[in-house]
Amino acid sequence: MKIFKLALAALCGAVLANGSAQAAEAEKVSFILNWVAGGDHAPVYWAKSQGWYKDAGIDLTIEQGKGSTLSSQRVGIGKNQLGIADLGTALVNKGKGADLVAVFNIYANSPYGFYWKKSSGITGLKDFAGKKIGNPPWDAARQMWPAFAKSVGMAPDSVTWVNVKPNAKIAALKSDSIQVTTSFYNIHFIFQEVLGDDMGFVGGKALGVNPYGNSVIANGAYLKSHPEVVKNFVKVTQKAYAACVNDADPCITALVDANSGLKPPSSLANWVLVKELMDADSSRKGAIGYFDPERMDADYKLIETYFKLDKPFDIKSAYRNDFLDMSVKFGG
């Protein structure tokens, strides 16, 4: 009996020591969101709640964001190892010297959209001439406006831009202090709830301006020194997004449990729209998270044309697909 107890004690000690060693070996990774947590981030919270990142050797901390400019800047200087940012915004910051690489795409379709009240007499983009468009001065859609105007043969300077805070867009539109505003499509349902049948809308994709949207980015230096960590993160995240496409309920539950103030109905409505943004040839014929090289070339030309790049770069150095499981497809 004494020998048995000694053997059991030794075994328990070995197990505890092994567990401690594994915990000690887990790589601490700080992941910054593009904005405050919402339905589009549900898969990450779900994967974390399931222990998938931990099982992959990643001790993940999720940090709330304040816009893609901030998240891409912080990842670009290594304050956060990984993050989410609108890809166009991230590429613009890369052109300013940010050291970052896109490793996983979430929005395979552009989330940019324009909203107005039908009662204003506006029927489409051409009617924006002479009107006030309100959004924050840093809004990516404002920077991309010349491309949208060109798509319908408008002069870019035919509209007046008004500075409006993100949370004041709908109120400004309702009060007629502006006639048009912009927003990401994943909160389309909020405009619908407020404006109802009076809501007018056109998305960037319908206008032929369809750059990749929100994507996971990695700090370039960290990617070089910790390729396996980034690879494991991408594989877990890809698996999570695929799982949540097929069954959203547990993912929304994990999101709401981790973020006080979020409600399941609105978070689910957000996620339903995110699924629309994920659905494209690159995610169906390529894989969830895949960057199509031809589209990336076009995206680079777009930002090179409409944004000032202090440090032009080879677009092939700005993304990679080799961490993806190419069998994980949208709708598959």
Tokens describing residue 74: 């912080």
Q: Express each pLDDT in 218-236 by its tens digit.
A: 999 999 999 999 999 999 9
DSSP 319: B
Q: According to the model, what pLDDT value does residue 140 have?
A: 78
Alpha helix stretches (DSSP H) within the chain: 2-25, 42-49, 52-55, 68-76, 87-94, 140-143, 145-151, 169-174, 188-195, 220-225, 227-246, 249-258, 264-278, 281, 293-306
Q: According to the model, what pLDDT value does residue 24 have?
A: 52
Domain positions in the chain: 25-109+211-317, 112-207
112-207 architecture in CATH?
3-Layer(aba) Sandwich (3.40)
Asked if 93 contacts 73 with a C-beta cutoff of 8 angstroms, the reply is: yes
For domain 25-109+211-317, the CATH superfamily is Periplasmic binding protein-like II (3.40.190.10)
In the predicted model, residues of the chain with pLDDT beneath 70 are 1-24
Euclidean distance between CA atoms 168 and 118, whole angstroms = 19
Do the two domains 25-109+211-317 and 112-207 of this chain adopt the same fold? yes
Q: According to the model, what pLDDT value does residue 61 have?
A: 98
Q: Are strands 27-32 and 199-203 parallel, antiparallel or unpaired?
A: unpaired
DSSP 312: -
Tokens describing residue 78: 């290594």
Euclidean distance between CA atoms 245 and 224, whole angstroms = 31
pTM score above 0.95: no
Q: According to the model, what pLDDT value does residue 97 have?
A: 96
Look-up of token digits 């729209």: 273
DSSP 48-110: HHTTHHHHTTEEEEEE--S-HHHHHHHHHTTSSSEEEEEHHHHHHHHTTT--EEEEEES-SS-
Look-up of token digits 């032009």: 312
